[in-house]
Amino acid sequence: MNGAALAQETRLTYASYLELGLLLDIQRPRSRAHDETMFIIVHQVYELWFKLLLHELTYLQERLEAGDSDSALHTLRRCVAVLQVAVDQLDVIDTLTPAQFAGFRDSLGSASGAQSAQFRELEAVLGARDRIVLENYEEGCAERLRIEAAMNRPSVLDSFLCYVSLQGYPVPAEVLRRNPALPFEATQPVREVLARVNHDDLVPAQVAEGLLDLDRLLQEWRHRHIKIVQRMIGASRGTGGTSGADHLRATCATPAFPVLWEVRGA
């Protein structure tokens, strides 16, 4: 290491390593309401969790497609832990009363959580192929391109089926070669393979359990989010012109991996 590099390394501190000067300067309330700072921080932290989940799920898919059971299981455990924290974090936003939210709600303008590009990308990575969500983003913008790219490449379930095939299970070749831009439709042969995975109760079954844990927590997050929105705004329209709780409820009933739930007990 040369002198300049050594000096740079020596100057590295906790604050500079974490870019705290930048991080702690980006909470900028649009009103004088005391509670808006909390609202901003919670949502910014969510975006950081989404970023980490996207990072980890990319690695999970790589490890699944390489047949690496140990790394896949470890990464799944981390993803589940992150989502559990995301669910628990709702306790903080749940301290916001309707009157407190009303104190700064107008400051949000057209901004809405439905516009979170990272969350839409996360949904796509997990298998969602509803291209209507792209209408929230301008044609050709970076956020839309990332969501579209996620919709056009294999989902986590596609990678899991590749992994299952590598473990010796007879996943139909046409399923492994399917167009990933299309919604996944489970065939009877796929259900039979996944039922056999569950029945054998070996490492692939543990991976399937991890995926179900991920799915369960995502559904729990959606459900709790709905109840918080109902408590704060009732039947009123949501921010950004969405239909509030009704908008969220429409997304709550669909699991990320329906076929994995279907074969439980088969």
Is 43 assigned to a binding site? yes
Is 105 assigned to a binding site? yes
Is 41 assigned to a binding site? yes
**Exposed/middle/buried for residue 10 (C-beta within 10 Å: 0-12, 13-18, 19+):** exposed
Is 55 assigned to a binding site? no
Is 42 assigned to a binding site? yes
Is 39 assigned to a binding site? yes
Residue with tokens 């739930």: 261
**Whole-number Å distance between alpha carbons of 122 and 142:** 15
User: Which residue ranges are tagged as binding site for heme?
Assistant: 225
Residue ranges at the known binding site for substrate:
39-43, 105, 239
Summarize the annotated binding site as residue ranges.
39-43, 105, 225, 239
